């Protein structure tokens, strides 16, 4: 069956789906590799060099091989970095003069899924125009019934050398002068791409490293571990008396933390600590932090107390990066732990985030629990309302009137966010405020009006 041409395959985080099914089947992966090579050659007028890496899913090897087959057949040179983090591929593409970097990963998803992320040499994700061209090539190949290419490969792989290049950058440049000899760090690598890299990095910097969930078997990536399941990390930090615990997701572009007391430290709290640290060093450009509409209002209030400003974007690190580049700000991220330092890398990097947090702790000579003081997470409620149509809320008088009333009642210690789901017929009502009971009442009232008008 032909997939409708109007359907978008590339989301804010590349192409993602169940491995073995369209668009994550071998034939489509070959088409993606072929199309990428063709588009890059058209743009540069030269045979392109593509760096490819993957996480630890059992589908990663054959998906990578299929993509490379397509790229090689269309004039590209390909170098495989093997199992490596998403930001590791972005770094290699940038520093090796490649025309693109490709990551085979579905990030925090279960092992059955996989995905494709493409980076430009700058470290930014592939531009929308090229994504649309590749999508058109995919649908054209489907209609023509294009079959897989012959299984002949000439893959250049120097993965050990490429891993060392990335680790040396992290150790010698990002971690320059940082001694962790007095730190015990529990590292949960989610049985993913950082399973070998992260423990090695922190060992090199002198830390006592306790690594957990670092034995991938192709099917245990993100399974009850990593950034989606912090409980095991909290228990291990308490059991070992560690000074810090860090959890990565499957491709290690995000990091979440546990302090020495076993308390969870999310991306908002991490931004708070890093913002104060950079501000004290005179490195927080324009006194601005960029986050998404989902960051807790507690972060906004905490930053305001230090005369710092929070600028919000739509959900997705892609939009955070766009705002960082537009405003010249030096720090941004998401509640999920995806933090971006644009002066270092345009791709979020969980290990760089960890080094930044450790540097803040070391220079302040304070534990993380002390550095997070001043940030108070406000109560939040999210209510979903099924709707028959997605009319702009501003066009519905009853919704607009109650929204304005609610915002007045919340004042500067609360926040209302109304938005539609991008994939389901749902309106989402998100409210934050000082009182859980109060925001629940406000949310129920708004949900009732939305249901009456649009349900």
Active-site residue set: 107
Among residues 43, 59, 40, which one has the least CA distance to residue 51? 40
Kindly state the tokens that stand for 50.
């593509």
Taking the C-alpha atoms of residue 141 and residue 373, their distance in angstroms, rounded to an integer, is 56
Residue 265 DSSP symbol: E
Of 147, 197, 213, 202, the C-alpha closest to 179 is 202
Please list, in sequence order, all residues whose beta carbon lies within 8 angstroms of the beta carbon of residue 382, skipping any fewer than 6 positions away. 428, 429, 430, 443
In whole angstroms, give the CA distance from residue 257 to residue 270.
8
Print the SS3 string covering 99-149: CEEEEECCCCCCCCEEEEEEECCCCCECCHHHHHHHHHHHHHHHHHCCCCC
CA 297 to CA 215: how far, in whole Å?
38
Cite the DSSP H helix spans in 173-266: 197-204, 231-240
Are 200 and 384 in contact by the 8 Å Cβ rule? The answer is no
Question: Half-sphere exposure of 159 toward its Cβ, with a 13 Å CA cutoff?
Answer: 13
- The dihedral over CA atoms of 53, 55, 58, 59, expressed in degrees to the nearest 10, equals -50
Transcribe 16-48 into DSSP letters. Answer: EEETTSTTSSHHHHHHHHHHHHHHHHHHHSS--
Longest dimension (CA), the chain: 66
Distances (CA, A) of 32 to 45, 131, 155, 268: 19, 10, 17, 36
In the structure encoding, which two tokens stand for residue 79, read together? Answer: 């170098």
Of the candidates 268, 328, 333, 331, the one whose C-alpha atom is nearest the C-alpha of residue 302 is 268
């Amino acid at each position: 069956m032909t997939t409708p041409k109007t359907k978008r395959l590339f989301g804010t985080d590349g192409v993602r789906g169940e491995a073995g099914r369209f668009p994550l089947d071998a034939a489509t992966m070959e088409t993606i590799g072929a199309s990428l090579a063709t588009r890059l050659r058209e743009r540069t007028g030269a045979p392109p060099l593509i760096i490819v890496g993957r996480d630890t899913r059992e589908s990663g090897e054959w998906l990578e091989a299929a993509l490379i087959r397509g790229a090689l057949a269309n004039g590209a040179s390909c170098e495989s970095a093997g199992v490596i983090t998403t930001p590791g591929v972005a770094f290699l593409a940038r520093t090796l003069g490649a025309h693109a970097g490709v990551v085979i990963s579905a990030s925090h998803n279960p092992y059955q899924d996989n995905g494709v992320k493409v980076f430009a040499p700058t470290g930014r994700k592939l531009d929308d125009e090229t994504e649309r061209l590749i999508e058109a090539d995919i649908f054209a190949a489907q209609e023509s019934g294009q079959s897989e290419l012959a299984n002949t490969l000439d893959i250049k792989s120097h993965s050990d050398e490429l891993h060392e290049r990335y680790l040396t950058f992290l150790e010698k440049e990002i971690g320059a002068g940082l001694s962790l000899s007095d730190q015990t760090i529990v590292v949960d690598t989610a049985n993913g791409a950082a399973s070998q890299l992260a423990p090695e990095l922190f060992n090199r910097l002198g830390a006592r490293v306790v690594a957990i969930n670092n034995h991938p078997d192709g099917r245990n990536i993100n399974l009850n571990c990593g950034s989606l399941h912090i409980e095991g990390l909290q228990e291990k930090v308490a059991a070992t008396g560690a000074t810090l615990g860090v959890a990565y997701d499957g491709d290690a572009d995000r990091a979440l933390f546990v302090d020495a007391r076993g308390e969870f430290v999310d991306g908002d709290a991490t931004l708070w600590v890093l913002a104060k640290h950079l501000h004290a060093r005179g490195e927080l450009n324009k006194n601005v932090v960029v986050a998404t509409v989902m960051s807790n209002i507690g972060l906004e209030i905490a930053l305001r107390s230090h005369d710092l400003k929070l600028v919000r974007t739509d959900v997705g690190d892609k939009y955070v990066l766009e705002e960082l580049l537009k405003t010249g700000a030096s720090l941004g991220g998401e509640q999920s732990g995806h933090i971006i330092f644009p002066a270092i890398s345009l791709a979020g990097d969980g290990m760089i985030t960890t080094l930044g947090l450790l540097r803040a702790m070391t220079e302040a000579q304070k534990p993380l629990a002390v550095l997070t003081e001043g940030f108070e997470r406000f109560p939040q409620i999210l209510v979903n309302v099924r709707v028959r149509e997605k009319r702009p809320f501003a066009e519905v008088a009853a919704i607009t009137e109650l929204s304005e009333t609610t915002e007045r009642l919340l004042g500067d210690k609360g926040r209302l966010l109304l938005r539609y789901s991008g994939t389901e017929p749902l309106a989402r009502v998100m409210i934050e405020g000082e009182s859980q009971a109060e925001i629940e009442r406000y949310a129920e009232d708004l949900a009732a009006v939305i249901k009456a008008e649009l349900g």
